[in-house]
Amino acid sequence: MKSVMYTLLTLLLAGIGGGSYFYLTVHRPMAQDYARMKIGMPEFDKAKSELRKYKDREAWIRPAMETVKTALQEETGSGKAEIVATDGSLVINIAEAALYTPGSVTFTKESVPTLEKLTSLLKNLKDLKDKDVFIGNATLPSSAQGTARQRVPAKDALDLAADRSVALVKYLERKGVAKESL
């Protein structure tokens, strides 16, 4: 009977010792960490909601990019256009020679199909009001041309690019693309 009593007492002391060890090494540090984490939870929740907003903001890009790629497949295949998604916006780069006559804001005759595709794309893409879709190209400066009275003055790249942007926006407006999308 004594040996059973000693065995039970030893098991009781071992259980109390093990429980104390667990409490001191695992439970108490975890409780302190939890208290510190609970203080930072509002900041963490705020960061999570902000991240969710960015994910939602960029969720439209992938389907829109696929739509644009399929519509401008001929232009991208021939190297006349490039579609890139960056920083929450969709960028459509179109080669200068594919749209404009050299050194001017006039569209070429060959650019009409590309412009029509671009117009239909911008009309058909849904919910573009708060989205960023950029249409761009690299514009080179034009040198002066002609002589005497018929001399066409040189244009720097910045002025030429601005004039071309205005011409493209006016064209798209005339074709029925919503003003707030431009």
pLDDT tens digits along 123-135 = 777 666 666 677 7
Spatial separation of the C-alpha atoms in residues 81 and 95, rounded to whole Å: 6
Model confidence pLDDT, tens digit, residues 146-165: 565 554 455 666 777 788 78
pLDDT of amino acid 160:
76
Q: Hey, which bits of 26-156 come out as E strands?
A: 81-86, 89-94, 132-136
Q: What is the pLDDT of residue 7?
A: 92
Q: What integer pLDDT is reported at residue 153 of this predicted model?
A: 54
Query: Can you list the residues of the chain whose pLDDT is less than 70?
Result: 56-58, 126-132, 138-157, 181-182
Q: Supply the pLDDT for residue 127.
A: 62
Query: What pLDDT score does 10 carry?
Result: 92
pTM over the 0.85 mark:
no
